[in-house]
Amino acid sequence: MGGTTRDSDFALRLTAWHHGHGRHDLPWQNTRDPYRIWLSEIMLQQTQVDTVIPYYARFLARFPDLASLAAAPVDDVLALWSGLGYYARARNLHQAAQAVMTRHGGEFPRRAADIAELPGIGRSTAAAIAAFAFGERAAILDGNVKRVLCRVFGIAGFPGERAVEQRLWALAEDLLPQTEIGTYIQAQMDLGATLCTRGRPACGRCPMAEICVALREERVAELPAARPKKTVPQRHARVAVIVADGAVLLERRPPTGIWGGLLALPEIPEGTADPARWVAARYGLQAGEPAMLPPLNHAFTHFRLEMTPLRFDVAAAAAAAADADHRWLALDALADAGLPTPVRRILAELADGPKETPQRELPL
């Protein structure tokens, strides 16, 4: 091992702890299949294990291998991802599968440096895949690992700052053991996820208690430093819920940006004084006075969105506004569509609840 005796002690303590107390029976463990490992690593980005497990099982049932994922329509991939959030992960997953098939002959790259060149795979994720699937000696630095290193070695500053992150990367590489690399990498993840948690860490059961700077200096609550506070912007949007004969008109979002590539409710341009006239001009559908459905708030990473849904009822005979970017979706078929979570909630309430009484005064 490189580094000081204390650094070596870190790896020894960690792997010894993991043998007896780490997680060993997760669905994506006990395999060297890079496809399954890669899928789990992408799904686990900013998502809890308990949330990922059922999605992981359904995804593998539909796409059991890389070739089947690469050959699938992106709509099918997004549909299976619906509700998991951060949809760019699904689009990148699909693109990366196609890249492996076309650029690597269907063989998943073995080196972390090559894996990191695939869409949606950063340095840490690539290292984890290479370590678990191929035994490469590569360091990771996800959120759990950053928290553990900041506390054990007393590293101040927000880990997202470039200088702090560079210091953490240097430390993570120096700490790498020569053997049991997969166990060591998994142990880092497990320690941060189960004991060295953000709130209420179980320091009394932590294998690092004797060498932890934060514990010794009573700075556990301070480390790692929190992200500098910023005012979270509040945005507002009105969306058109255009209904005809038990189906709703959906519009495909642009491939990049929020909900990229998903089907969503059309957004009514800001300042539109007569939404019914806008529906007629935009889609050629004649609708009466809209009904204002209950507003819905949704938090994104960098802003909050308040959505005000306006329901427009149109005649089924006139419901012809469908093309490559639009689709009529039956309200009893929501489960099979790739929809953003707030859109799914709006439509689920619409399918289950009574029709709202039209209101004349609508927000602009």
Which residues form the catalytic set?
41
3-state DSSP percent of the chain in helix, strand and coil, to 5:
45, 10, 45
Q: Are 292 and 279 in contact (CB under 8 A)?
A: no
Distance CA 318, CA 322 (A): 11
Which helix (H) or strand (E) element contains residue 238? strand 234-244
CB neighbours of residue 326 within 10 Å: 15
Which of 103, 97, 150 shows the shortest CA–CA distance to 120? Answer: 97
Q: Are 303 and 235 in contact (CB under 8 A)?
A: yes
Which of 353, 170, 339, 155 shows the shortest CA–CA distance to 265? Answer: 339
| Alpha-carbon distances, residue 62 vs 71, 148, 214, 336 (angstroms) | 12, 36, 46, 13
